[in-house]
């Protein structure tokens, strides 16, 4: 089963957009807070371009809305230290890498985490912002002499037959590429969330209605729970 949440110590959780952190590590962060561990969550952008209707919800409105939704989600999860890098949504890959890496270096130096959680090389969905965050966090960790454990989100082989088709049907992938599932013996964390923790995670996701509402309108609740019940990570 790999490392327990209690063994993760102080956690620095770094993601691209508000809701990434809750989908991929909301249960872990919430369980760590229940155990009294420090959790610092970081969003690189406010996700201000995350809509199919930019005229109806322009960036100057969606950004503040998503920040407010994220604040409520963090409250539900018990995470009281959520920070923003204030970069432009959708533009990370075009930035000077050092402009993204150096703030993360400073975060690592400030927080002194025992564990860093972030995207793997596939960015979970092959979103360019996700992949860029993976690259920045990895380089920042190396520049800090690799303190603590750097863990990348991964999909476990054992759950892929059930979860993979659901994700495929929801159209979450940004390219024709697909994640390569990881065997259980290669996972540093292989967590099936206890029902009360999963309930809390679902409530946190639901709080981000601008993003989650449209999905929940078409996704059966049981399927949504199935996908979100698993949080797995591999070591860098």
Please tell me what DSSP assigns to residue 94.
Answer: G
Q: Give the gyration radius of the chain's Cα atoms.
A: 16
CA-based nearest residue to 50, from 75, 77, 70, 27: 70
The whole-number pLDDT of residue 214 equals 86
What CATH number should be reported for the domain holding residue 40?
Answer: 3.40.50.10320
Phi, psi (rounded to 5 degrees) for 223:
-70, -40
3-state class of 10 per DSSP?
Answer: coil
Answer whether 28's CB lies under 8 Å from 211's CB. Answer: no
CA-based nearest residue to 229, from 205, 209, 213: 205
3-state class of 13 per DSSP?
Answer: strand
Average pLDDT by consecutive 10-residue portion of the chain (236 residues)? Answer: 89 98 98 98 97 90 97 98 98 98 98 98 98 98 97 95 92 94 96 97 97 88 96 98
Range of the domain at 76: 5-235
Please tell me what DSSP assigns to residue 125.
Answer: T
pLDDT tens readout for residues 76-85: 999 999 999 9
The total of structural domains in the chain comes to: 1
Could you tell me how many helices (H) and strands (E) the chain has, helices first? 8, 7
pLDDT tens readout for residues 51-88: 988 888 899 999 999 999 999 999 999 999 999 999 99
């Amino acid at each position: 089963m790999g490392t327990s949440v209690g063994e993760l110590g102080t956690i620095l959780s770094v993601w691209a957009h508000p809701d990434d952190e809750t989908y991929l590590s909301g249960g872990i962060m919430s369980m760590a807070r229940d155990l009294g561990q420090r959790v610092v969550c970081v969003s690189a952008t406010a996700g201000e371009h995350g809509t199919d209707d930019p005229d109806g919800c322009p960036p100057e409105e969606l950004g503040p809305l998503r920040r407010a939704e994220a604040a409520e989600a963090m409250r539900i999860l018990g995470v009281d230290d959520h920070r923003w890098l204030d970069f432009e949504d959708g533009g990370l890959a075009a930035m000077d890498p050092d402009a993204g890496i150096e703030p993360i270096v400073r975060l690592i130096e400030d927080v002194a985490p025992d564990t860093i959680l972030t995207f793997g090389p596939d960015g979970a969905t092959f979103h360019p912002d996700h992949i860029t965050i993976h690259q920045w966090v990895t380089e920042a960790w190396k520049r800090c002499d690799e303190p603590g454990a750097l863990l990348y989100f991964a999909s476990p082989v054992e759950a892929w037959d059930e979860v993979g088709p659901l994700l495929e049907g929801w159209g979450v992938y940004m390219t024709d590429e697909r994640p390569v599932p990881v065997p259980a013996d290669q996972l540093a964390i292989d967590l099936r969330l206890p029902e009360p923790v999963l309930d809390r995670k679902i409530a946190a996701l639901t709080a981000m209605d601008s993003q989650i509402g449209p999905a929940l309108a078409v996704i059966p609740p049981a399927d949504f729970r199935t996908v979100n019940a698993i949080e797995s990570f591999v070591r860098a």
